[in-house]
Structure 1
Amino acid sequence: MSRLRKAWKTSVKGYEGENIVYAETAGKARYQVYLDVSDCNDAVKFADIKVLRNKTADVVLPDLPGAAKNVTQHALEKLLHACGATRGNPYKCGYRGHFYCNAQNAHMAELVDAGLMHRSEKGWGEGMVYFHATDIGQKTALAMIPLYRGEDFIWPRREILPGDEA
């Protein structure tokens, strides 16, 4: 089932402009703005922050494709990195789509076998190549990013396969 990241238009009394904040509720959006603003201005009060729902800026994250369901978490971490998502800023996911490493990298081979990445012919160095995220790989990465700040990535439940560590 796809997930909805709710958008809130926020403004702070005494400051120009409005910003979009993503949060589950208006109260959480207000608190997020309060934490951001109060770091540099401790005179700002909670009541100085105006929050309005902005459905036009909502983000719908896709369902997790079936191709990712039996891929190891380590390999999926490489896919997220290739697509630009980091723990510090997972919302950059999609700004890029490549990973440069040894052609024999086991995690990349796993992603290629799952159809989430494909391998280039050669790279700059001996034995090195670029791996590029496929459309389904990009969709998988987007499906795994957290809805809101402070949450973890969505890791698929993986069935235990023969040879897996206990």
Structure 2
Amino acid sequence: MALKSLKKQRRIQVIALATLALVISTVLIGYAMRDGINFFRSPSQVVAEPPAPTEVFRIGGLVEEGSIVRGQGEAVSFRVTDGGATVPVVYTGVLPDLFNENEGMVGTGRFVDGVFQAQEILARHDEEYMPAEVVDALKEQGVYKEPDAGS
């Protein structure tokens, strides 16, 4: 009788230890990835539900025509749009070579006091490519135009 209860007790200990290890590993993975997960938002989503100033996220759309203003040094400001809403962006750094008006871009940063403060700006890397999230946001607003197949 004592042998059966000892086996049962050992089995319960092993299950409890495995469960505890699983919980700890899940918490550690979540903690390690907290800065690596950046949710994508279109300008319309940012305007409709502004995120907290502490939240880092990605925004994407088209650089609005006539909106690029270069400041002192590497400072630049512009507006990004998805056709439904426009969000002002400020960035300090070197912009990608293919960064232009009416071209797709994705930025990573925070939305503070109505302005997206970008830490990183990415532009499409050739004439044919645009990030899928940007295409989806533009299609949702009815602004997206398919690239010419003959080019």
| TM-score under structure 2 length normalisation | 0.21
| TM-score under structure 1 length normalisation | 0.19
Relative contact order, higher structure (CA 8 A, sep 6+): 1
Higher strand share: 2
